[in-house]
Structure 1
Amino acid sequence: MTTSLASPATALGDALPGRAVAIDTAHVADLISQLLAALGEDPAREGLIDTPNRVAAWWADFLSPDDVATVTCFSESQLSDQLVIVGGMSVWSLCEHHMLPMNLQVAAGYVPDGEVVGLSKLGRIAEHFAGRLQVQERFTEQVAEYLTGVIGRKDVAVAVRGVHLCMGMRGVRMEAARTTTLHTGGRFATDPVLNQQFIAAAQWNAA
């Protein structure tokens, strides 16, 4: 038996922080042309003629991720107190401080109580919150809060390992540096054994 749970959008708000509601691609393309000129390039030269339009189209696509309208859950009356972890989710986002890409490896865990979440939906949740100007810490909390709303309990943990090009391309240029953020709620915050099980499994999934 399956059930479709409504997205907890009312809890998070329909207009989420950093989410674009409309992209003026013509204006973006014009601004990219101005940027190229300011950088000493000729926007009209061969190789750059269509670049502003391509960049504008990319921004419109990236900042318009699919909504997570419904999340399918499967009834499993025999499942209780079992740790479920979905790892290996890799999404791209943009650091809002430098507007450079960051790759986020996501592992999400929860304790089911009579039903389990459709696995593919967790990846869609991660993609949804990655499609905007972000910081890794907020992304981690947003994924955790959404999953909490889906299962109706705080027994949720989310680990994110990020590789930030703003570190690899500028400043100290630490190409191999990774940042890890962790959210633990409910039993994950109060049960040290469950917490350690998730952390160990999340590290394995992110390897």
Structure 2
Amino acid sequence: MTTPLAGPETTLGGALPIPGQRAAAVDTAQVAGLISQLLIALGEDPTRDGLIGTPDRVAAWWADFMSPDDVTAVTCFSESQLSDQLVIVGGMSVWSLCEHHMLPMNLQVTAGYVPDGEVVGLSKFGRIAEHFAGRLQVQERFTEQVAEYLTSVIGRKDVAVAVRGVHLCMSMRGVRMEPARTTTLHTGGRFATDPLLNQQFFAAAQWNAA
């Protein structure tokens, strides 16, 4: 951190900025009305058996998806004997929506950093990924947002983030290539300048995505 730790555990409250913050709450009543209109435009009857209540359910899902828990507190633990150890957290799977076609994309996230006298609470990595996934997104921006936030948490640029995505906008429309995968990689600080560190992280990221 950029400030000294007062004890074995430090909690960073809401002081950290959240880049790309969403603006307004979801208007579920209006969304439900629009879904009813969409069903009619598709030649369906929103009042038939099977579709009764569907607009409200879809609206409730949008409200839930677009309102993930904020990353309001990141806990760091003092570990004075730690330095130059590579920490990698993988196996994080989040769902987001492609903003170009509004179709789902599944993002497998691996994040790494080099601790210097303290470590970040592991559960926060998943919460950070979920926070930035809960919106209309593109994978490239998502990768940078996660990396930028982790950089602000540890106070240094020694952060790497790899994301492997399955995009339904490519799998079920257009070229319809179901096996296609997209990989984005951010390497900052020592991950960009130390080839061995970069190779170690990328090997771990590939293993986690396998």
The interval holding the TM-score normalised by the smaller chain is over 0.9
What's 1:117 paired with? 120
How many percent identity over aligned positions?
85
Question: CA RMSD of the aligned region, Å?
Answer: 1.1
Q: CA deviation at 1:7?
A: 4.7
Q: Does structure 2 conserve the Cα–Cα contact (< 8 Å) formed by 1:20 and 1:63? A: no
SS state at 1:53 partner: helix
* Cα distance in structure 1, aligned partners of 2:96 and 2:23: 14
What's 1:204 paired with? 207
* Cα distance in structure 2, aligned partners of 1:8 and 1:93: 26
Q: Does 1:34 align with 2:37?
A: yes
SS state at 1:72 partner: strand
Q: CA deviation at 1:22?
A: 1.1
The two structures have a TM-score, normalised by structure 1, of: 0.95
What's 1:4 paired with? 11
* Cα distance in structure 1, aligned partners of 2:29 and 2:147: 36
Q: Does structure 2 conserve the Cα–Cα contact (< 8 Å) formed by 1:7 and 1:150? A: no
The match for 1:61 among 64, 87, 91 is 64
* Cα distance in structure 2, aligned partners of 1:62 and 1:20: 14
The match for 2:153 among 145, 150, 153 is 150
Q: CA deviation at 1:21?
A: 2.1
Q: Unaligned 5+ residue runs, structure 1?
A: none
Post-superposition CA distance 1:124-168 (Å, at most 9, x none): 000000000000000000000000000000000000000001111
SS state at 2:82 partner: strand
Q: Unaligned 5+ residue runs, structure 2?
A: 1-7
Q: Does 1:85 align with 2:93?
A: no
* Cα distance in structure 1, aligned partners of 2:71 and 2:55: 30
The two structures have a TM-score, normalised by structure 2, of: 0.94
